[in-house]
Amino acid sequence: MLFPTIDFAIFFLVAFVACWLLNPYPTAWKLAVIALSYFFYSWWDWRFVFLLLAATVLAHLGGQGAARRRAAPRAARVWLIASLVGLLGLLGYFKYYGFFAVNVDNVLHGLGAGRLVPLVQPTLPVAISFFTFMAISYVVDVYRGRLEPARPVDLAAYLCFFPHLIAGPIVRGEELLPQIRRRRDPAEVDFSWAIWLVMAGLFKKVVISSYVSTAIVQPVFSAPSAHSALEVVFAGWGYGVQIYCDFSGYTDIAIGLALLLGVRFPVNFDAPYTARNLQDFWRRWHITLSRWLRDYLYIPLGGNRGSDGLVIRNIMITMVLGGLWHGANWTFVIWGALHGVGQCVGHLRRRRRIARGLPAVAQGAWRAGWQRFWTFQFVCLGWIFFNASSFSNAWALLSRLVTGWGAGSGLVTPLLVLVVAGVIGAQFVPAGSLVRLQRVFSEQRAAVQAAILGLVLLGITTLGPSGVAPFIYYRF
């Protein structure tokens, strides 16, 4: 069930009415949320509901066992490890078995051992990466003493709450469980801000992302040799715009929908293309994933403690695994490694500047401009591998950057240039300006707000395509 569809609009209307009617009754509200969320998830394939249920049971058992860390530390550690193995085992089988089976089988065949590994490609369940990471964070946080074990109904509602279920944000237990346990006060909900977020997200996804994808990204990535170097450049920039509008649009919708139900989600994007280096970029892009990788992988590996060699090791492991999290393909591994190498270089440069008594990052308006420019180019270079269907496809695109100058560039139209520049430029607009604009909207009478929303929906319907493609992050 896609957000920008009539089916979902009807579903959410039912969910909205049911949740607020049941708001005075905590247990009934939680059961309704679970039932609605499982129905929402079953829309793709009802069989995977049992996978979501299995992850919930593993997280519950792991949390209950991990909570015994003081009374029985060894047993708690066993419960922690067992639940993590179970959760990662589910994720590994469905998402990575086919990838590793093919590669291991190819190696064995090359060594003359024959075809020994069963080549099976399980169907990838929607959202498995997201609810698995949330389940892992819950168990680990219980083990660390940051959370008390949740009641089964609370944990089930936390993991399956439909606004975040399909593509995040990756909400932690300490952020969402307290909101599930307490009664929501409609007087504290900024409904106008929630609707503003939903409309903004729909416009980003349905209009901008769809246009850029059709106008430049799909044609160039599907047939690189048929396009010029300038078109490849704009395809790289365009994909940066497409995936930002697609994913941040989804996040805006998810945050807005949750807020309409009285629940607050953390921010997931903060003008990522204004970043001055890769470290800054990952503080701004998919923030909930970045902090998950930091707190549950990078820091346990040692973080930035120790020698430069150890820090570089930790960065590379984190970024390569982060790349692999996005998909079982070597292009994602390369994308993660590319960002890892970039962050390692940035780490060494910051260390050397500090050792010389200089600021960690060079200051000054001109320097900041160049840093932002080259960071964006590097990120878009990474997006080529991220979106490429294979390494050969990515190499063909990069080759055209060298050999394709002088060819026609009919796809690079004034409208495309305006859209790409506009999306990037909009990220430099001060956040306060948008807040003031939204405040003006919220102060209008209900009839005026309805008229504005009607015009926005008309514009989205008119400018958007006849059908809406799934969000990019649905496949992760």
Catalytic residue ranges: 326
What are the structure tokens assigned to 13, written together? 């209307």
What letter represents residue 136's amino acid? I
With beta carbons less than 8 A apart as the criterion, state whether 272 and 285 touch.
Answer: yes
CB 155 within 8 A of CB 60: yes
CA–CA distance, 204 with 208 (Å, rounded to integer):
5
Structural tokens at position 434: 């948008």
Cα separation, 379 vs 390, whole angstroms: 18
Q: Cα separations (Å) of 277 from 345, 347, 372, 377?
A: 10, 10, 7, 11
Tell me phi and psi for residue 121, to 5 degrees.
-115, 95
Please say whether the beta carbons of 106 and 63 come within 8 A.
no
Q: Which two tokens stand for residue 389?
A: 């269907």
Residues 6+ apart with CB under 8 A from 332: 323, 324, 326, 385, 386
- Angstrom distance (rounded) from CA 476 to CA 467: 21
Half-sphere exposure for 176 (CA within 13 Å, toward CB): 29
Tokens of 411: 């796809």
- For every residue of 199-254, DSSP letters joined together read HHHHIIIIIIIHHHIIIIIHHHHH-GGGS-HHHHHHHHHHHHHHHHHHHHHHHHHH
C-alpha span between 342 and 316 (Å, rounded): 10
- Which three-class secondary structure state does DSSP give residue 361? coil
User: In whole angstroms, what is the distance from residue 300 CA to residue 296 CA?
Assistant: 6
